[in-house]
Amino acid sequence: MDEYFEKRKRLVERLKKEIGLSEKVARAILEVPRHLFVPPEVRSEAYNDYPLLIGHGQTISAPHMVAIICELLDLEEGDKVLEVGAGSGYHAAVVSRIVGADGVVISVERIPELADRARKTLKALGYTNVKVVVGDGSIGYEPEAPYDKIYVTASAPRIPAKLLMQLKNGGRMVIPVGDFIQHLHVVDRDEYGQIKTRNWGAVRFVPLVGEEGFKD
Ligand code: SAM
């Protein structure tokens, strides 16, 4: 147990009340030490429910947003998951706990310095089923496709066609879409490849920058 365990436990209790966490998501958030994914100067704030700056103008998402995306994805043990926007590596670590040793998380990050730090943090903490790659995740990551689940942690101008193509039949994607006004979309690809999208509600994310994202 680390020095922040009690704070982490209180955060999980609060998220349980506010968004009704499932047992598996609650357990993963309780297990992953968010304070070790943020810069030392904001470590004491790691268990407050808001985003924190992680450098290069980017943020680690608020814990409730990480939890909501995990719940909406309906993650299962053994899932192969694509994350677009590794940032600190924290969200990937939480997902990796839920999909377990038979599952895998491939996380794409466009800023090499962030990818490098995320990779080092994940390795130091023993998250061996997460692979961080540098690249433009707005076009997905073809070498490991297809995926059971895909989630994007930056807001896209529209749902990128290449991400849809890398989703398995029966798979699900969660992605924020919009510029000033953003909404979180839950996209299902059924067993025949038909796409159904529903709007979860308003959110606030940094922009997805790339070929199928916003221009730099
Ligand atoms: N999941 C992260 C975490 O747990 O810390 C939070 C990610 S932050 C809200 C969004 C990230 O998306 C940033 O690190 C940003 O550099 C990255 N990003 C933006 N556009 C991208 C793209 N086209 N491909 C990959 N990463 C991108």
What ipTM is given for this predicted complex? 0.99
Q: In Å, how far from its chain's centre is CA 15?
A: 17
Q: Which amino acid is at 29?
A: I
Task: Quote the pLDDT of residue 150.
Answer: 99
pLDDT over 90 for what percent of the chain? 98
Q: Enumerate residue ranges in the chain where pLDDT < 70.
A: none
Question: What does the pLDDT read at residue 1?
Answer: 77
User: Which residue range(s) make up the domain with 116?
Assistant: 5-203
Would residue 86 count as lying in a domain?
Answer: yes
Does residue 20 form part of some domain?
A: yes
Is position 212 within any domain? no
Q: Is the residue at 214 inside a domain?
A: no
Read off the pLDDT of residues 14-69 as tens digits, 9 standing for 90 and up: 999 999 999 999 999 999 999 999 999 999 999 999 999 999 999 999 999 999 99
The total number of structural domains in the chain stands at 1
pLDDT at 27: 98
Identify whether 215 is part of a domain. Answer: no
- 49: in domain: yes
**C-alpha 143 – ligand 1 centre gap (Å):** 19
**Which secondary-structure segment (H or E) carries 176?**
strand 167-178
Residue 157 lies in a domain: yes
| Alpha helix (H) residue ranges in the chain | 5-19, 23-31, 63-73, 90-99, 112-124, 161-165
Q: Which of 61, 107, 138, 155 is catalytic?
A: 61
Q: Is residue 156 part of a domain?
A: yes
Question: Given ligand 1 and candidates 132, 175, 184, 209, which is best to mutate, with the most ligand atoms within 8 Å of its CB?
Answer: 209
Which residues have C-beta within 8 Å of that of residue 51, sequence separation ≥ 6?
59, 60, 61, 62, 65
Catalytic site includes residue 61: yes
- What pTM, to 2 d.p., does this model score? 0.98
CATH number assigned to the domain comprising residue 199: 3.40.50.150
**Cβ contact 106:82 at 8 Å:** yes
